[in-house]
A and B are shown apart, each in its own frame.
Chain A
C-alpha cells in the first residue's frame, strides 16, 4: 500500500516537472479570472497584457521543453511505458502552433466590439483554458486523455462562442455547438468503448500491441475506427462532423472564429494523427481473423481518411459557392481546407509500412502556411468589421481603395488559401498533391485539383469585390497596431511561397 502511494507520488512529481507550460496555462486561467473581477469595467485592457505575459511565459517554458521525449503520468512496464501524455517533437510543434494562435487572438479581441467593455478578461481566461485543452490533445497518448482534452477545449470554446449573451447569433451558435459537441462526444465514446472491448486498453501502445497479438474482424475494427475518427473530425470540422461549423463560425465573435478555425482544427489533427500512429505502430501490419485464420492485413485507414478528405473538400467548396456572409464563406472554406489537410493524413497513413515511409512534412508545412493565411484573413475581417460593421461580401466593395494595405493582405491570404503562387498555400498544396500522387492516391489528388478550381470562384468573388466593385464609402483607418499584426501575419505568407526550402526542411523534423 505504502509502496503504491510512493509510486503514485513519484509519478505525479515527475509528471509535474515536465508539465510546466500546462501548469502555467492553468495558473493563467485562474489569474485572469481573478484579475477580471478587479479590472472589469475599469481597465479591461490590462487583462490583455496579463494574457500576453502569460502566453509568452508559457511559450518560454515550451521552448525550454523542446527536444524532450518523455511519457508522463504513467507506469513503466517491462515492454514500455504506459502514460497519458507524450511530450515529443510532434506535440511540441502543435502546442507551439496553438499557443501562437492564442497569442495572435489577444490583439484581435482587443479590437473587437464584443469584448470592448465587459467580457475581455473572461474571454482571455477561456482562451487560456481552451489552449490548455488543446495542449493536452496534442500530446495525448491515451484515448481517454485525448477525449478529456477534446472535452476540455470544447467546453471553453462553447462558452467563448456564446460569450456575448445579448448577441442572438452568438448564443444560437453556442447552443448548437454544445448540442452537436455532445453528439460527437457520444459517438466517439461509443467507438472508444468498442475498441477497448477488442483490445483491452486505451493506451495507444497497448492497442497496437494487442492488435498484433489478438486479431479482430475487419468489420468490428472499421466501425470502431470510423466512430473514433468522427470524434476527432468534429474538432477538425471535417466531413461528416462539419455541420456545426458554418453556424458557429458565423455566430461567434470573429476572434473566436479565428481561434477555432486555426487552433482547434490543428489540435484535432494532432490528436488524431497520434491515435493513427499508434494504431499503425511498427510496420503497419496487424492481424485479422480468429485462431489459426489470423492473417496480416493492412487496415484501410487511407481509404477511410481519403474518403472523408474528398467529401470534406467537396462539401466545403460547393457549399461556399453560394455564401454571401464573409465569415460563413470562410467557415466553408475551412471545411474544405480540413479536406486538404486530411489528404495529408491519408498520404501519411498510406505511406506507413511502405518502404518510403510515412511522412508528416506536407501536413506540417501546410499547417504553417494555413496558420498565417487563415489568421491573416480573419484579422482583416475583424479590423474591417469592427470599424464598418461589414459582414457580407458586398460590404467589402472598394476595399482596395478604402484600406489598401488591409485589402492587399486579405487578397494575398485568399490567393494563398486558393493555392496561387507565389504564396505559402501554393507550396503547401504542391507538396500535398505530389505526396498524394507518390503514394498511389492519384484519384484524391485529381479531386483536390478540381476542388481548387471550384474554390477559385468564391475566393475571386471576394477579390473582385474588393478591387473592381466601386464604393463611395470613405477611407478606413486601421491603426498602427493592426497594421503591425497584419504585417506579421501576411509577410510569412509570401516568404513561405518564395523561400520555402528552409521551412520545408524544418517541417521534416516534427514527425515521430
Chain B
C-alpha cells in the first residue's frame, strides 16, 4: 500500500466519529434538538472506524517481521511571526505499529460500549446527547493517537478531558455527579499546567537549535535527545532540564492516568454512567497518559537513550517509583471498597500504576502490552458491573451476592476477566503481567542495590493483592447468599445487546495474550508484540536516516539475545533479564493461587465471619484504608484551605496595591482626557460644525438665485456669463 493511502485511512478513522458529532451538532443548531437517530449515527461511525483500523492492522502490522514501516505526514497549521522568531505549529501525523494497535483497542472498546449503551442508557433523559459526547470523545482519543506533535497531542488531551467532564457529569440532576465532574476537571488542571510547562520548556530549548521550525514534533524531540547522547544539540549543558522537562511532562500523565497522589478524581468519576467508566476511565483515556510517556520515552530516558544505558535516568526513576507506589497504594484501598464500581476504579489505578512502572523500568513494550490486555478485561469487568447494576439497581455490594445463577453470562465473563487480571496462566493478563514483573526484576538485578528492587517489590506485592481483591469483588457479587432478597428476586440476565459485548470482551481477555506468545518455546525469546512495539522499532525506524540515531544500540528490552553489536550495559541487562525470568514467573503463579485462595477462604468459606476485626492492627489499618489513606481529607481540609488563604492574601494585595495604583493612573488619565475633550469640543468640533454651517450658508446663498422668477434667472445668467469671462481673462492673463 502507498504511504499516502495509509495516512488517508488513518485520518478517515479519526474523522468518522467527528462526522457523527458534526451531524448531530448541526442538526441541533438548525432544528434545536438532536437527531433521534444519533445513537445509530455514532455507532455506525465508530463501526466504520473499527473496520478501517482492523484493515490497517491486518494489511500492515500483521505483514512483515517487524510490522509496518512508519509513515509520517505534516500539514502547516499556522505560524506566528516570521523567520527565525516564528512559532510554527504543524499538524504532524505519524502512523506506525503502535498507532494502529491503539486504534484497534480504542475502536473495539468504543464500538462495544456504543452497542452496550444503546441498551444500558435506553430511556434515560438526553439519550441522544450521550452518544454525541461519545462520538466527540472517540474522535478526540483517536486524534490524540494519530498526531505526532506534542502541542497537537496536548490539544486532543484537553479535548478528551473535557469529554470526560461532560460524561462524568452526564446525570446533571445528581449533585454528586456534578461534583465529581468538577473534581476531575480541576485535578486534571494541575497535571495539565505542568504538562504545558514541560512543553514550553522543550519548545523553548529546541527553538534555539531549529529556529522558526516545527520543534514540537515527536521526531524533533527524539532527535534532540539522541543528539545529546552524542554530545551535541540543544540539550547540551542543560542535562538537568531534560530531567525536569521529563518529570513535568510526566505530571500530565500522573493526572490523566490517575497516579498517586493525583489519583483522587478517578474513583469519584465512577458517578458517570457505567459504559463511560468502561470506555474512558478504564480502557482508553486513562491509558492516554501511559501512551504519552511511551511516545516521550526518549525524553524520559535522556542522555543514555542512544547508548542503551539509560536505567539511571532520574525521570525514569520518578516514573518507576510513582507507578509502583500507585500500584500498591490503590491495590490496598481496593481491598475494602464496598461499592462495586469504586472497587474496580481502584483496581484500574493499580493496573495503571503497573503500566507506568513498566515504562519507568525501561520497557515500553511491557507497558503497552499490559495496556492492551488490561483494556479488554477491565472494560469487560466494568460492563459486567454495569450489567449487575442494571439488574439490582444498586452499586453497593451488600445489595448483591448470589447472582451467579441469575446472571450466568455476566458471571462467566466477569470470572474470565478476573482470572485474566489476576494473572492466571492461559489468560492474557498472565503474559502481560509477567512481562512487567520480569522487566522490573531485571531492573533490580541490573542495579544490584536494594533500592533497585523497590519497583519490583511494590509490583510483586500488588500482584498478590490484585488476585485477592478481584476475587473478593467476584465472590461478594456473585457467590453466597443474596444481600438483598427483594432486589435479588427482581434481578435477571441483561439483554443480548449488553451481554454480547461482554462475551466479545471476555474472549478478547483470553486471546489478547496471544499476540505475545513467544516465537519459540523458550519464554525468554522475543515475541510477536515485542517485535512490533519496542522503542527501537517505534523511534529508530521512524527517524530513518537521521544521523543522531546512527549508532543507536539495541535496547534493554525483554529479549533472549541482545543484538551482536550491543554494548556492555545492554548485554548485561539481557543477561539479568534471562536470569530472573523463571523465578518471577513462579512467583507470579504463587501470587495468583494465594490471592484467589485467600479470597475464597474469607468471602466464600468463612463468609459472614469478620476475621479482620479480630486482629486489632488489621482492623486499624482497615479504618485507614476506608478513609483512602486520608489523601482526600488532606486535600479538602488542609491543602484547599491553605490555597484559599494564599488566594485571599493575593486578593488583598491586588486590591490594596495594584488596583490602587491602576486607579490612580486611571484618574490621572481621566483628567487629561477631560482636558482633551474640552479642546475637542471647542476647537475641533467648532471647526467641523463651523465648516458645516458655512456650507449650509453657502447653500442658502446659491439657492437664493433660483427664486422662481424667470426674469431674475436671465439676469443671473448674464452675470454668470460675465463671471465666466472675467475668470477666463484673469486665468489666461
A positions within 8 Å CB-CB of B: 175-176, 179-180, 183-184, 187, 218-219, 222-223, 226-227, 229-230, 239-241, 243-244, 246-247, 300, 303-304, 307-308, 311, 314-315, 318-323, 454, 457
Given contacts A239-B720, A300-B731, A303-B728, contact A321 B714 (CB under 8 A): no
Shortest B728–chain A CB gap in Å is 5
Q: Determine the chain B residues whose CB is within 8 A of the CB of A183 once the complex forms.
A: 714, 717
B232 to chain A, nearest CB (A): 59
**Ranked 6 nearest A-B pairs via Cβ:** A240-B720, A321-B699, A243-B713, A318-B699, A300-B732, A303-B731
Known A-B contacts A176-B710, A180-B713; the reply to A187 vs B721 at CB < 8 A is yes
A303: contacting residue among B703, B708, B732, CB under 8 A: B732
A320 to B705, CA, bound (A): 13
Least CB distance, B721 to chain A, in whole angstroms:
5
Query: In the complex, what residues of B have CB within 8 A of residue A229's CB?
Result: 724
CA distance A219 to B716 in the complex (A): 23
Task: Determine the chain B residues whose CB is within 8 A of the CB of A247 once the complex forms.
Answer: 706, 708
Q: Are B725 and A454 in contact (CB under 8 A)?
A: no
Q: Please tell me the number of chain B residues within 8 Å of chain A, measured between CB atoms.
A: 27
What residues of A have a CB within 8 angstroms of the CB of B705 in the complex?
A: 243
8 intermolecular pairs with C-beta atoms under 8 Å apart? A175-B710, A180-B710, A222-B729, A243-B717, A303-B731, A304-B727, A319-B706, A322-B700
Across the interface, which residues of B come within 8 angstroms of A318, CB to CB? 695, 698-699, 701-703
**Residue B687 at the A interface, CB < 8 A?**
no
Q: Which A residues lie within 8 Å of B706 (CB)? A: 243, 246-247, 319
The answer to whether A244 and B721 touch across the interface, beta carbons within 8 angstroms, is no
* B639, chain A: closest CB distance, angstroms: 60
**Separation in Å of the A178 CB from the closest CB of chain B?**
9
B696 on the interface (CB 8 Å rule)?
yes
Contact residues of B between 675 and 701, Cβ < 8 Å to A: 695-696, 698-701
Q: CB within 8 A of A319: which of B702, B719, B731? A: B702
- What is the CA–CA distance of A223 and B705 in the complex, to the nearest angstrom? 24
CA distance A243 to B717 in the complex (A): 7
Q: Are A222 and B725 in contact (CB under 8 A)?
A: yes
Contact at B708–A304, with CB atoms within 8 Å? no
Q: Are B728 and A179 in contact (CB under 8 A)?
A: no
- Are B728 and A322 closer than 8 Å at their CB atoms? no
Smallest CB separation, B344 vs chain A (Å) = 65
Of the listed residues A219, A230, A240, A247, the one surrounded by the most CB atoms of chain B closer than 10 A to its CB is: A240
B732 pairs with A241, CB closer than 8 A: no
Given B695, B708, B721, which contacts A226 in the complex, CB threshold below 8 Å?
Answer: B721
Total number of residue pairs linking A and B with CB closer than 8 Å: 90
Asked if B155 is an interface residue, CB under 8 A from chain A, the answer is no
Chain B residues within 8 Å of A, Cβ to Cβ: 695-696, 698-703, 705-706, 708, 710, 713-714, 716-717, 719-721, 723-725, 727-729, 731-732
B713 near A226 (CB under 8 angstroms)? no
Looking at the complex, which one of A179, A223, A311, A319 makes contact with B723 (CB distance below 8 Å)? A311
Given the contacts A319-B702, A322-B696, A307 and B728 also touching, CB distance less than 8 Å: yes
Contacts of A226 in B (CB 8 A): 721, 724-725, 728
A230 to B714, CA, bound (A): 12
Chain A minimum-CB-distance residue to B697? A318
A176 touches B713 (CB 8 A): yes
* A454 and B695 contacting across the interface, CB-CB below 8 Å: yes
Given the complex of chains A and B, what is the CA–CA distance between A240 and B723 in angstroms? 9
Residues of B within 8 A of A454 (CB): 695
Most buried by A among B700, B701, B720, B729: B720
Query: Which among B701, B719, B728 has the greatest number of chain A C-beta atoms within 10 A?
Result: B728
Q: A240 to chain B: which residues have CB within 8 Å? A: 716-717, 719-721, 723-724
- Given the known interface contacts A240-B724, A244-B713, the answer about A319 and B708 at a Cβ–Cβ threshold of 8 Å is no
Give, as a whole number of angstroms, the nearest-CB distance from B26 to chain A. 30
> Are the C-beta atoms of A179 and B724 separated by less than 8 Å?
no
Shortest Cβ distance from B729 into A: residue: A222
Q: Is the CB of A308 within 8 A of B724?
A: yes
A457 to B731: give the CA distance in the assembly, Å.
31
> Which among A183, A241, A243, A311 has the highest number of chain B CB atoms within 10 Å?
A243
B727 adjacent to A223 (CB under 8 Å): no
**A187: which B residues are within 8 A, CB to CB?**
721
B403 CB to nearest A CB, Å: 71
A217 to chain B, nearest CB (A): 12
Q: With both chains docked as a complex, state the minimum distance between the C-beta of B722 and any C-beta of chain A, in angstroms.
A: 9
Q: CA–CA, A223 to B714, complex, Å?
A: 18
**Neighbouring B residues of A303 by C-beta, 8 Å:** 727-728, 731-732
B703 surroundings in chain A (CB, below 8 A): 318-319, 322-323
Cα distance A303–B731 in the bound complex, in angstroms: 7
Tell me how far the C-beta of B70 lies from the nearest C-beta in chain A, rounded to whole angstroms. 51
Q: How far is the CA of A66 from the CA of B705 in the complex (A)?
A: 44
Residues on B with C-beta less than 8 A from A307 are 724, 727-728, 731
What's the nearest-Cβ distance from chain B to residue A268, in Å? 16
In angstroms, Cα B716 to Cα A180, docked, is 11
Q: Cβ of A457: which chain B residues have Cβ within 8 Å of it?
A: 695
From residue B681, how far is it (CB to closest CB) to chain A in Å? 22
Instruction: Find out whether the CB atom of B698 lies under 8 angstroms from the CB atom of A241.
Output: no
Chain B residue numbers with a CB within 8 Å of A227 are: 721
B699 and A223: CB pair below 8 A?
A: no
**B724 contacts A304, C-beta separation under 8 Å:** yes
In the complex, A223 Cα to B723 Cα: how many Å?
12
Report Cα–Cα, A184/B702, bound state, in Å. 21
The CA-CA distance from A323 to B702 in the complex, in Å, is 12
**How many Å lie between the Cα of A365 and that of B720 in the bound state?**
29
Nearest CB in chain B to that of A310: its residue:
B727
Name the residue of chain B whose CB is nearest to the CB of A323.
B703
Contact B716 A243 (CB under 8 A): yes
Which B residues touch A304, using CB under 8 A?
Answer: 724, 727-728
Nearest opposing residue in chain B for A243, CB measure? B713
**In the complex, chain B residues whose CB is within 8 Å of the CB of A222:** 725, 728-729, 732
Bound complex: CA A218 to CA B717 (Å):
23
Q: How far is the CA of A314 from the CA of B703 in the complex (A)?
A: 11
Closest approach, in angstroms, between the C-beta of B110 and any C-beta of chain A? 51
* Bound CA–CA A216/B578 (angstroms): 123
How far is it, in angstroms, between the C-alpha of A457 and the C-alpha of B724 when the chains are bound? Answer: 28
Closest-by-CB residue of B relative to A454 is B695
